[in-house]
Amino acid sequence: MKNFRWQLLIIFLTGLVVGILLLSERPTPSSIFQTPEPRRGGAYTEALIGQFKRLNPLLDFYNPADRDVDRLLYSALLRFDERGLPQADLAESWGISQDGTVYNFTLRSNIKWHDGKPLTSADVVFTIEKLREGGSAIPTDLQEFWKAVEVKALSDTAIQFRLPEPFAPFLDYLTFGVVPKHLLEGKTFDEIVNADFNLRPVGTGPYRFDRLIVENGQITGVVLNANPDYYIHPPYIEQIIFRYYPDSGSALQAFRDGQVQGISQITADVLPEALAEPNLALYTARRPELSLILFNLKNPDVPFFQDATVRRALYAAINRQYLVDRLLQGQAILADGPIFPGTWAYYEGTPHMDYNLDEAQNLLREAGYTLPAEGEPIRTNKDGLALRFTLLYPDTPQHRALAEAIQADWSKLNIAVQIEAVPYDVLVQQRLADRAYQAALVDLNLSRSPDPDPYPFWDQVQATGGQNYTQWDHKLASEYLEKARITPDIAERTRLYRNFQVIFAEELPALPLFYPVYNYGVSRLIQGVRIGPLFDTADRFATILEWHLLTARLQRTDATPTPAAP
């Protein structure tokens, strides 16, 4: 014990001597190092997949490439963060009446159009008036929605919306880009469609239009400059240039050739090549889409779909990880429910269903379906009802591969599944709408809808004539959905949606498969890029104000000490 204490004393004295020697030294200014520091200036060029049409938020509903540019040119009353929560944009604040039918908004007072004119609530009212009369350029349901809402400018900075009845997802509808009344007033919607304004747009966003790039009589790009009067603060990057390309392959080649610094979308066919580029950083985000299998729960030809135990067995028998890893090249996230993970409404306690063929077989036996002693090797129940049905799928190579893999998985349970390809519009507008199907592999696209609002797809009222294609008829789940739709309080809505998700996971009226992902490529010289789950591809620019080119500043360091003078 004494020897151990002497060892500790020696170590202590040695450390003390070293410390004294270090304190007697002082640094010299001989070494430097570089650290990144955001600075204003520079340009960023992005390869945009798609074609230029019109830079006007009233006209970009069917052209994602235009929406990407418009996101930087125009502002909306609200934007939504990656969790689906509303954030102030043009609106400084807002309030909701107790009954959920009146919404009052106050605009920021320092907003200017790119031509220097002030933005007022009259511009918001004007934009909504145009949304009501949009013809084929604007979705019909959106036009009808705004026709039912009373909009009034209370002052230059105050605006009021009156709804005919409570509707909690209303804030979703306030992300439209606002257009200038003073430049478009007096024009019909058809005249706006063909107006020169669409080629020389004026907005209030962080970037303003500079010029079009025209080559051989075709528009091949757009140049935007930073807006010095932007009401939040000017962006760091001084200029953004968009160049149009037909596909990701040509865009990737443009990056290799040094023509662009970013690629708006990296598709699966070029993903391995993109990953091999040392100077290209890839950002991946969940898309607002869900692939799932729907069951027609009211089809008398397949009554076994009404049994939740059978549905659970079918779910456990699908090797979803294989689908994602092998057929989708890893470009999807396994789904456990109808509400997107990471959003405010998602219930973290939602159970995950792993691939388990043994469990699936046990569940089918529990439901009374076994292999007959003789005859065709298809599971039947005591009444002779065979597990046999047809699975529809969209007529694309990828969907066919998915359907074949699912068919093979279910065949391991001795279930006879026939697969049938159907054009997507026919699948949705005829087979699903008419309930003329047994099971279907579909993709649910909820782009530009941050509020989850599962009501249209799962409420019992929508089973006839609505989008509840499964015809799921669950009274308690429907009560939760209906109440959540009219309750402004987000904490209460969260509780209601949690209860709904618990019931959905128990009943499984449909089988959630996966959420596809989106890949975005940006040069490593561009800093500050961050994207979370997306509700639209243009959401990748949500943090554009913080993007900057990699620069450096010199700092002195203590790397080379010299002894102090005696």
Average pLDDT, the chain: 91
- State the pLDDT at residue 344: 97
Per the CB < 8 A criterion, the answer to whether 84 and 452 are in contact is yes
Average pLDDT for 252-275: 97
Contacts of 338 (CB under 8 A, 6+ apart): 290, 292, 452, 454, 457, 458, 501, 504, 510, 512
Reported pTM: 0.89
- State the pLDDT at residue 36: 59
- State the pLDDT at residue 13: 37
- State the pLDDT at residue 3: 37
Average pLDDT for 270-297: 97
- State the pLDDT at residue 292: 98
CA R_g for the chain? 29
Domains in the chain with CATH codes? 28-54+66-72+205-279+524-560 (3.40.190.10), 75-192 (3.90.76.10), 289-517 (3.10.105.10)
* 170 has pLDDT over 90: yes
Average pLDDT for 183-194: 96
- State the pLDDT at residue 123: 98
* 19 has pLDDT over 50: no
* 117 has pLDDT over 90: yes
- State the pLDDT at residue 330: 95
299-335 tens-digit pLDDT: 999 999 999 999 999 999 999 999 999 999 999 999 9
- State the pLDDT at residue 443: 98
65-83 tens-digit pLDDT: 999 999 999 999 999 999 9
23-65 tens-digit pLDDT: 333 444 433 444 457 889 999 999 999 999 999 999 999 999 9
- State the pLDDT at residue 7: 35
- State the pLDDT at residue 374: 74
The two beta strands, 158-162 and 150-155, are: antiparallel
For residues 324-355, one letter each, b for 16 or more C-beta atoms within 10 angstroms of the residue's C-beta and e for the rest, the string is beebbeebbbbbbbbbbbbbbbbbeebeebeb
Tokens of 25: 């030294």
* 562 has pLDDT over 50: no
Average pLDDT for 194-218: 97
DSSP state of 320: H
Q: Give me the torsion for CA of 37, 43, 47, 50, rounded to 10°.
A: 120
Average pLDDT for 210-220: 97
